[in-house]
Structures are given as C-alpha cells and as structure tokens.
Amino acid sequence: MARNKYDVDEELVSVFRMKDLIRLLRYMKPYKLTIVVTVMLMLIASIANLLGPVLVQDAIDNRIPDKDVNGLIILSVIFAVTLIVNAICFKFRVRLMSTIGNNIVKKIREDIFYKLQELPFSYYDSRPHGKILVRVLNYVNSLSDLLSNGFINFITDMFTLVCIVVFMLFINVKLTLVSLLGLPPLIITIMFIKNIQRRNTQALSMKQSNLNAYIHESICGVKVTQSFAREKKNESIFRELSIAYRKAWMKFTKSNFILWPIIDTISTSGVAVLYFAGIIWIQGVSVGVLIAFISYIWRFWQPIANMGNFYNAMINAMAYLERIFETIDEEPAISNLPRATEMPQVKGQVEFKNVGFTYDEEAGNKILDNINFKVGQGSTIALVGPTGAGKSTVINLLSRFYDVQEGEVLIDGINIRNVTLGSLRSQMGVMLQDTFLFSGTVMSNIKYARPDATDEEAIQAAKTVCAHDFIMNLKEGYDTEINERGTRLSIGERQLISFARALLADPRILILDEATSSIDTRTELALQNGLQRLLKGRTSFIIAHRLSTIKNADCIMYIDSGSIVERGTHEELLALKGHYYKLYNSQFSVLEAV
C-alpha cells in the first residue's frame, strides 16, 4: 500500500481468486438451514411460475375448442394459486435473505474492526486512514446485495433454467434446439469481457480509496488549511481526484452494463428465429404450443440475464473482497507469542538490556543503540534530550507498542515479550503527548481506562490533577458533551482530562510523555503537588522539555542519537556541566538572574 499518499493507487491482484469466494461462502455457513429453507421456497415459487404457459397452452389447444367451461375455470383457479404461491414465497425469501445478508455484512465488518484494534501503531503510521476507513464501510457495504439476493437468486435461476429447458423439450424438441442457438455467442462474449470488467472494477476501487483518503486528510487538517489560505490549492487537488474517480466510474459503468444489452439482443434475435421456425414447421405446431413456447423462451433468457447480473456482482465483489480479506489477514507486528503467560502483579522494577531498535530495518538507521539501564521499584525516571533522540521510542518499547530488534526489556525480571499484551498494558498508564479525547461526556472520558470506577473516584482523580475547577465551569460540568478529539477544549484542558484518566487507571507503571507541555505555568505549579501524589509508589517514566517538572526525579537520563550520554540526579548532572547542564541553563538562566 502507498505510504501516506492519497495519490498513489493500491496494488491489486489481477486474477479472480476462488479462495476469496470460498471464504465469503464460509460466512454463510451458520445460516445454512435458513438458506436451505429459502432455496426450497424459491424452487417452489419457480415451479409455480413455470406452470402458467402450460396452462395457457392447454386452454388454447383443448379447453376453448372443446368449449370446456369447467375446465377453463379449473385452469384459472390453478393459475391464480400459482400466483399466490409465488408471491408468498417471494415475500419470505426477501425477509429471510435480507436478515441473513445484513448479519453476514455485520460479521465481516466486525472482523475488520476487531483486527484494526489489534494492529500496531506502525500499520496506521504507514497508511492513509481514509484508505482504511473505506474498507470498513464502502467495501463491506458493496457486498450487501450479493449476500442478500445474489447467491440465492443464482441457485434459483439455475434451477429455473433447467426446468424451463425440460418444459420446452416436453413441448417441442426442435423448437428447443433452435432456442438454444444463442448460448454459444453469449458464453464467448462473457469470457471476452470478464477481464475488462475486473480491471475496471479494480480501477474504480483504487480511485474511490484515493478520494476517500484525501477527504479524510482534508477534514482532519481543515484548521491548517484555513490558517494558510490553501483552500484553492486543495480544491484543485480534490478536483483532480474527482475527475479520476469519475473516469473510472464511467469505464466501470460501461463494462458493467454491456452484458445486459447483449443478452437482450440475443434473446430478441432468438425469439425472431423461433417465430420463423414456427412458420416453417407450422403444420406440426399448434397455436397453443407456439404461444407457450414463446412465453418460455422469454423466461429462458430472464434467468440468464439474472445470472449475468450476478456475474457482474461477483466480479465487483472480488475486487472489494481482496482488500477486505487483506485487512483481516494482516499479521499484527505485535502479538502474543504462542506460549505467552499472564503478567503477574507488577511491582515496578524495569530493565533495558542491550536494547537496539529501528523503525525502518531496511534503512538500518538505529533509533536506539545498545541501551542499558535498570530502574528500581517506585522510582521516577526522567528522559530528556533533543527532538528525535529516541526518548519516546523508549516508552514505546516499554509499552510494547513496538518490539525490540536487539536485546530485551524486562519488568520484574520478566521479558515483556513472554507475557500477554492485555495483562501487560492493563497494569500500565500511558499519557501521550498527542492527547485524544473521545466523543462523549467528560466523565466517560475520564473513566475510559476504568469503566467500573465510581463517579466519586473519577472526580477525585480530576481534583488531584487540578482539572476539577475548569470542568465545573463547563456548561454541564462532568456531564458536558465533548466532540470528537475534544476540539472545543484547549490543549491544556484536554491534557488535564487525559491526566485524570491515567490517574484513575491506578497503574503500577506510569508513563507521561510531555504530560504538561500545554499546561500554563500557574496550573503547572498547582499540579506539582498532585503529581507527587500520583507518582508516589509507582515506577514512573517522564518525558519533558520543561525541566521544572523533573527536578525531583530519582534519575534523569539524557538521551542523544539513540544513546544514554548522561544519567544521574538533577544536582549530579548540573555538577557534571555537560549536556544536561547546558540544556538547564538555556531554560533557566534568565529566571535565575532575576
């Protein structure tokens, strides 16, 4: 897949893969009994529907010449019964298959969503989110009609086609053979256009994905767009993507609807030939037989047309199924090992042993190189250093958002790769620099990591991190609705709510990545006491550019170019007059002079 690009097409397999179809059919397995009942109903309806021309033939050739009024009444009653049976069966088929189809679509969408919950950060870092979203919604929705009607109609149409041929052979063998002359050119046409249809469907899928990716990116970045007055440029990009999508749609439409007029032309030509043959053999063919036969020949081409539509739907579905199953089959880069065990109650001792890591193994540039340190239970460790030095990578490895390529990370002497992700992360509290709030109330956001907490516990957590006062000033206090990402709140307010969320989780290991970067100085001073209570008894890792927040840390590690170049307490590092000393003076020299 394209790396964070909305203007690069995704690669698609060019051949029809039967395994994708078989896999889709497996989703229907739990409903096989209902499907069998539905098929039986449709077969009954099909037989009832096919009795009509035979009844008409009997009426024209026998009942009317013989002036058999009672016979005509009986035929009329039978004909009416066939119509009623057909209507009832159709009603139940629509109801049953609509339910099954939507249940299957729901299950496929759930499978994709559940997989997306498991995939690591690297998956999302390397893909436009709009191209992921289109799979969960558009691609899955495109399967709805195929699952609700397609397969059942195909089985029914196959059965109907066989029955029609049997009825036609029963009435007149010669006319039946004439009627089948149109099948060879139809089969040749289908074989010719199938690859064109698939290529055009794939192209449409790719252009739809590109357009969706750019729309998603533009909505997320609308504030930046307006800040730099880039609306016209973005409109130009969107117009180009829309034109590409429109061209792909037109090609798709042309190839998708070419089959129906071909079938219609062949069927009409077949009827014309049938009339001609009937005239030639008029002495051996009664009027009733010819009328009945004409009725069957029109019905003969109807299921063929339906199967042609089903074929189109299948070609379309394969292009989407390829992307859907690709997502479901994506192997999580971070997952539980086969023999992973539950992490015991964490005490808080952390050790990095000869850890090496790179985000791009092909490039070979190490973000961390031979990192070694050991942290005691309940200690507070601060990580400082220039941007890109590897500070956030340390906590990403500790949280196992990524796995180390060299060395190992131990908690209480246990390699974190040997325990389950759930048991590890449930005992850790992480507050990232990019705070994210979900749509819902302030209270629900604080309780996100611990839904079973009481309101009183949540409020106490908010008080501890100095978030209570501003929350109470909101229109509805803790019941105030927050929109997606909490954009109506200031960045500092969002960080305080995230702080309360982390505190409420009561983790044994706490990770704060620039937790106070957007909090004003007054709030930060008030927060210091709360922080001390928060950090007490927990092993804590703090990344901070504001050195005032880490002066009391048990150990400060200065990281640069992927290595720990200095470590010690605040006073010890100042005494060294090295990197930390220079960094500290650059921030506080003016304040100390005052």
Burial of 369 per CB tally in 10 Å (0-12, 13-18, 19+): middle
- Residue 91 dihedral angles phi and psi, to the nearest 5°: -60, -50
The CA distance from 122 to 369, in Å, is 20
Instruction: Tell me which of 341 and 186 has the higher pLDDT.
Output: 341
Burial class of residue 416 in the structure, from the number of CB atoms within 10 Å of its CB (0-12 exposed, 13-18 middle, 19+ buried): buried
Smallest CA-to-CA distance from 321 within 146, 466, 181, 460 is with: 146
Of 13 and 54, the structure prediction assigns the larger pLDDT to 54
Closest to 139 (Cα-Cα) out of 269, 321, 403: 321
Q: What is the DSSP string of 469-488?
A: HHHHTSTTGGG-EE-GGGTT
> Range with the lowest mean pLDDT among 65-74, 316-325, 406-415?
316-325
Report, as an integer, the average pLDDT of 163-171.
81
Query: What does the pLDDT look like over 277-292, one tens digit per residue?
Result: 666 655 556 777 777 7
Rg (CA), the chain: 35
* Cα–Cα distance measured from residue 55 to residue 50, given in angstroms and rounded to the nearest whole number: 9
Q: Using an 8 Å Cβ cutoff, are 327 and 149 in contact?
A: no
The whole-number pLDDT of residue 1 equals 41
Cα-Cα-Cα-Cα torsion 324, 328, 332, 338, nearest 10 degrees, comes to -160
Residue 341: pLDDT band with limits 50, 70, 90: very high
Neighbour count for residue 484 (Cβ, 10 Å): 10
Instruction: Look at residue 75 and tell me whether its pLDDT is greater than 80.
Output: yes
Q: Residue 495's pLDDT band (boundaries 50, 70, 90)?
A: confident
Q: Cβ(316)–Cβ(201) under 8 Å? A: yes
Provide the CATH topology of domain 18-328.
Answer: ABC transporter transmembrane region fold (1.20.1560)
Q: Is 61 left (phi over 0), alpha (psi -120 to 50) or beta?
A: alpha
Residue 372 has φ and ψ, to the nearest 5°, of: -135, 125
Residue found by looking up tokens 């090992």 in the block: 337
To which H or E segment does residue 430 belong?
Answer: strand 428-431
Q: Helix (H, G, I), strand (E, B), or coil: what is residue 464?
A: helix
- Rounded Cα gap, residues 553 and 433, in angstroms: 19
Instruction: Evaluate whether 51 touches 76 at the Cβ level (below 8 Å).
Output: no
Q: Is the pLDDT of residue 71 over 90?
A: no
Instruction: Determine the 3-state secondary structure of 48 from DSSP.
Output: helix
Are 539 and 349 in contact, with CB atoms under 8 Å apart? yes
Residue with tokens 């850790």: 428
How confident is the model over 27-41, as a mean pLDDT?
Answer: 86
Contact 259, 196 (CB under 8 A): no
| Contact assessment for residue 136 and residue 109, using Cβ atoms and an 8 Å cutoff | yes
Q: Mean pLDDT, to the nearest integer, of 572-580?
A: 90
Write out pLDDT tens, residues 290-325: 777 777 777 777 787 777 777 777 777 777 787 888
- CA 432, CA 17: separation in Å to the nearest integer? 43
Distance, first Cα to last Cα, the chain = 56
Bridge partners of 513, per DSSP, are 543
Q: What is the model's pTM?
A: 0.68
How would you write 60-105 as a 3-class SS string? Answer: HHHHCCCCCHHHHHHHHHHHHHHHHHHHHHHHHHHHHHHHHHHHHH
The overall average pLDDT reported for the chain is 81
Indicate the helix (H) or strand (E) that contains 562: none
Q: Taking the CB of residue 360, how many other CB atoms lie within 10 A of it?
A: 9
CA-to-CA distance for 430 and 423, rounded, in angstroms? 15
How far apart are alpha carbons 259 and 249 in whole angstroms? 17
Mean pLDDT confidence for 125-146: 78
pLDDT higher than threshold 60 for residue 356: yes
CA atoms within 13 A on the CB side of 562: 12
Looking at residue 2, its pLDDT comes to: 40
CA–CA gap between residue 149 and residue 120 (Å, rounded): 37
| Predicted local distance difference test score (pLDDT) of residue 349 | 92
- The H-or-E segment that residue 411 falls in is strand 406-411
Residue 591: the pLDDT is 46
pLDDT in tens, 84-113: 988 888 888 778 888 888 888 889 889 988
Alpha carbons within 13 angstroms on the beta-carbon side of residue 583 total 23
- Domain positions in the chain: 18-328
Tokens 């039986």 belong to residue: 40
Strand-strand pairing, 555-560 and 380-384: parallel
